[in-house]
């Protein structure tokens, strides 16, 4: 290809349209935010750049690392793959909203005690993911390593946060289950061993 000309960028002669915006009501950590968003905007960018909630992190922006994990109606989602325009009137919880009135969430305390992070950048995603994961397991949702997949509600039937799951239906979370269920959240510092220990303590 020596000497060839090479041009990149799309050939767009018509002028590009203006951004499309939508007004909606975002509910984040029990606060209501009337917000106008660009329809191209992801929840992650809305949280970080518009609402000043920088707890959720951008590690890849492609749903591959889990650093942006937040809870929407109690289920863990990757906020970098979620368009904000789809979230009118949904309950969003970020790492900033995990603590209760009486102090940090037990997982937050356990993460500190077990040194389940180093740089801390994946940590908000790990924590939101762990909260969602514990609820999924309590609701009996199986994982790829669950030996008996007979019991529990399926992910399509209701959410695990409802509190109406009968006791005894939960999955016992051994190390294999926790590792499998937490594998959507990458940690480059290599804190996995301590993350599993921290979650185990809270799961008991």
Is 52 one of the binding residues for another protein (CB under 8 A)?
A: yes
Is 146 one of the binding residues for another protein (CB under 8 A)?
A: no
Per CB under 8 A, the segment of 84-92, 104-112, 149-157, 162-170 that binds another protein is 104-112
Per CB under 8 A, the segment of 51-59, 71-79, 146-154, 161-169 that binds another protein is 51-59
- Which residues in the 173-202 window bind another protein by CB under 8 A? 175, 178-180, 182-196
Helical pair 192-203 and 106-113, crossing angle rounded to 10 deg: 140
Q: Which residue in 22, 24, 33, 38 binds another protein (CB under 8 A)?
A: 38
CA distance 202 to 109: 10
Q: Which is nearer to another protein, 132 or 165 (CB)?
A: 132
Q: Give the list of residues 6+ apart from residue 184 with CB closer than 8 angstroms, or none.
A: 66, 69, 129
* Residue 126 structure tokens: 């790990």
Handedness of CA 116, 120, 126, 130 (dihedral sign): positive
Please report how close the Cβ of residue 61 comes to another protein at its closest, in angstroms.
Answer: 6
- Which residues in the 61-80 window bind another protein by CB under 8 A? 61-62, 64-65, 67
DSSP symbol at 152: S
């Amino acid at each position: 290809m020596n000497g060839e000309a090479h041009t990149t960028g799309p050939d767009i002669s018509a002028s590009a349209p203006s951004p499309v915006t939508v007004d909606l009501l975002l509910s984040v950590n029990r606060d209501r935010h009337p917000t106008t968003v660009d329809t191209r905007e992801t929840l992650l960018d809305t949280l970080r750049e518009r609402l000043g909630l920088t707890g959720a992190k951008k590690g890849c922006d492609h749903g591959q690392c889990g650093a942006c994990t937040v809870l929407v109606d109690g289920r863990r989602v990757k906020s970098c793959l979620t368009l904000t325009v789809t979230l009118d009137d949904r309950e969003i919880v970020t790492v900033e909203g995990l603590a209760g009135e009486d102090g940090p969430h037990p997982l937050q305390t356990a993460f500190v005690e077990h040194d389940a992070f180093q740089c801390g950048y994946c940590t908000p995603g790990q924590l939101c993911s762990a909260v969602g994961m514990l609820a999924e397991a309590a609701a009996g949702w199986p994982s790829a390593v669950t030996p008996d997949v007979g019991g529990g509600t399926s992910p399509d039937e209701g959410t695990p946060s409802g509190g109406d799951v009968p006791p005894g239906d939960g999955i016992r979370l051994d190390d294999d289950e926790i590792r499998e269920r937490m594998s959507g959240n990458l940690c480059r510092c290599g804190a996995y061993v301590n993350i599993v220990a921290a979650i185990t303590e809270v799961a008991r």
